[in-house]
Structure 1
């Protein structure tokens, strides 16, 4: 009567080198596919962050444009009651330029937090490469 352990050793001794290489090739292919999937997930997460930051910049720009157009006219007309309309228009333009600068700086700061490199995938690929170099330890 053979034990399960003896049965496995007979299977291993009957396995050809070609089959072992085929198994390794299949395992490496599966590992590579998994790494690619992980990279896709990470890139999708980073693209989402970039999309949100770009959306913020877009909305800030549109809101700034509307504010400049509509409020500028109102403020210029209001200030025209106490000063020359040219000076009133200049003051309003400087104020909105400052607002635009603040929005730009904040949006740019958000974009700098986006990391286009899939860090977890890079780390696991490094681990896989290290394991392939030294599979026993």
Structure 2
């Protein structure tokens, strides 16, 4: 039984190393361009979906704002029957003031607790020292 070389083996035997490397480089370059094109297409599709979702959330926020507005007016009107119109407006305003103060306090605490990127900052601070050591060792 004789060994019959495969087409790939024949090509490898008859092609120079430079040509093979050139072919591999071209194939890798083509593969990278295709991967970049695929990533662009996927990101574009994701961005469109995210934009649609953001638009819907914006619409929900506006609608929720109107619902809160009309609930406030209804509450103000109902309180108007109990304690008078002027005082009911003041009561609703005080309630919203208390809610705003609580939200402000919690938001301020949350911002104060945010640390940013402490590990990255520490690593970046080490770069100049690391470079200095390398220059001294030369």
Give the TM-score, by structure 1 length. 0.49
Q: Which has the higher contact order (CA 8 A, sep 6+)?
A: 1
Give the TM-score, by structure 2 length. 0.49
Report which of the two has the higher share of helix.
2
